[in-house]
Amino acid sequence: MAVAEFIPSSSLNKRTSLYSSQLSYVSTQISHQRRLSVRSLPRTNYSSQICCSVTSKEAQAPTVVQADDPKKKNECYGVFCLTYDLKAEEETGSWKKMISVAVSGAAGMIANHLLFKIASGEVFGPDQPIALRLLGSERSLQALEGVAMELEDSLYPLLREVNIGTDPYEVFQDAEWALLIGAKPRGPGMERAGLLDINGQIYAAQGKALNAVASPNVKVIVVGNPCNTNALICLKNAPNIPAKNFHALTRLDENRAKCQLALKAGVFYDKVSNVTIWGNHSTTQVPDFLNAKINGLSVKEVIKDTKWLEEEFTEKVQKRGGALIQKWGRSSAASTAVSIVDAIRSLVTPTPEGDWFSTGVYTNGNPYGIAEDIVFSMPCRSKGDGDYELVKEVIFDDYLLSRIKKSEDELLAEKRCVAHLTGEGIAVCDLPGDTMLPGEM
């Protein structure tokens, strides 16, 4: 039978803006016969919580839960009102333990591409059940409801749970992966220092929430720009989580570099390997052609046009986002989502022998002489356990070192600019020029 329990807001420890649907999926026959209980939820009464459970043998007719204000219209929104309980089959016995993945900015375009890849099994594997925990703002809450409805309608067997909310302390509860996409875009007339402060405050708050309620070994990928310094702010506000667990997304830059090298060499991009993006996710980033390979050969052996490599190639990668906006009318979303998938898969699957991948990580203890205590994109390898190690067998020349130094200087200046958010005193903004983020106009 179905049981619905109404918990008034006065019995909660604090107001919650989190709504959950326990999507207890277990594979049945191909017809996916469902037993479900449907209840009306008070659309605007966000201070109440519905808890429900359904047995595997029968489902009760819809149960109406009265709102505090009976005049308000009650509506049922997809996963908020549905509890699935499907009969177990042998197939699900081999599934792994469910993992919890939190996503901020979950009503945005990037997340709209990403969430369905996660739910389908493309990211963590075909035997990995998923609980999605989606963070938005008060303004985007209705859009989040729509996202949850679409996820429900997609009938992903691996998607076991969907929760949405506006409070990171609720949404990040027990999260094992946190994909932090949400950030304010840079508007007309906004100085880079202003963007650092506004988004830095968001990531300071999210770091504190992760520190308080997430899994102690949560893996964090920061996408919202300026992502390197946002990642630094986040990790500084989460001292209980290993600093090594924080990443700034530079995988899209790596993918763009591989594409440009493949085009120039006249090969498919799967022939390009060992590509590194060094530094900041800005126009000071350094796409490394010195250590990259095409068909196992050094790029400089295959592409002998050094001027193209140092000038046109580098600039194309650095400014690809802006060029896309000119063509497309908006910043990249689908390719960013794909690069997040690539970044996660690089951590949960072993790196191919001899290859590596790029990710922005904490620099303490790095073997390259890069300044410590910043988040800097560097070459990494993984055994597929979610951890990574820095690659040591890389070479440098004067050109590469000078470019890396420029990006390092920019990140050190950004760090000084957000000192008030990292617990390091008064902020002093002396940014070396107003460099643009990839995709800014």
Higher-confidence position of 410 and 427: 410
Q: Which of 37-46, 181-190, 303-312 has the highest mean pLDDT?
A: 303-312
pLDDT at 328 over 90: no
The string of pLDDT tens digits covering residues 108-144 is: 999 999 999 999 999 999 999 999 999 999 999 999 9
25: tokens are 């999926």
Give the 3-state secondary structure of residue 161.
strand
CA distance 378 to 373: 14
32 catalytic? Reply is no
Residue 365 Cα distances to 39, 53, 219, 328, 375, angstroms:
55, 50, 19, 41, 12
Summarize the confidence of residues 172-182 as an average pLDDT.
Answer: 97
Confidence of residue 7 (pLDDT cuts 50, 70, 90): very low
User: Cβ contacts of residue 32 below 8 Å, gap of 6+?
Assistant: 86, 155
Tokens of 241: 């989580």
Q: Which of 328, 338, 319, 341 is nearest to 439 (CA)?
A: 319
Is residue 113 within 8 Å of 333, Cβ to Cβ? Answer: yes
pLDDT tens digit sequence for 249-305 = 999 999 999 999 999 999 999 999 999 999 999 999 999 999 999 999 999 999 999
**Length of the chain (residues):** 441
Looking at residue 326, its pLDDT comes to 83
Residue 88: pLDDT band (50, 70, 90) is low
Among residues 76, 140, 156, the alpha carbon closest in space to that of 106 is found at: 140
At residue 329, the pLDDT reads 78
What pLDDT band is residue 330 in, cutting at 50, 70 and 90? confident
Q: At 438, which amino acid appears? A: P
Mean pLDDT of the chain: 82
Least Cα distance to 98 among 18, 32, 21, 24 occurs for 24
For 86-101, give one letter per residue: b (16+ CB within 10 A) or e. Answer: beeeeebeebeeebbb
Q: What is the per-residue pLDDT for 67?
A: 37
Q: According to the model, what pLDDT value does residue 64 have? A: 35
**390-to-358, 383, 394 alpha-carbon distances in Å:** 10, 12, 10
pLDDT of residue 81: 46
On whether the CB atoms of residues 172 and 214 are closer than 8 A, the answer is yes
At residue 389, the 3 state secondary structure works out as strand
pLDDT tens digits for 198-234? 999 999 999 999 999 999 999 999 999 999 999 999 9
> What pLDDT sits at residue 303?
98
Candidates 32, 113, 247, 281; catalytic one: 281
Q: Which one is predicted more confidently, 242 or 10?
A: 242
Strand partners, 377: 279, 360
pTM of the model: 0.81
pLDDT score of 205: 98
Q: Looking at the predicted structure, is the pLDDT value of residue 185 above 90?
A: no
Percent of the chain with pLDDT over 70: 76
The alpha carbon of residue 262 and the mean position of all alpha carbons in its chain are separated, in whole angstroms, by 27
Structure tokens at 231: 């990642």
Query: Phi/psi at 247 (nearest 5 deg)?
Result: -130, 145
Return the pLDDT at 438. Answer: 53
User: How far apart (Å, rounded) are the C-alpha atoms in residues 100 and 106?
Assistant: 15
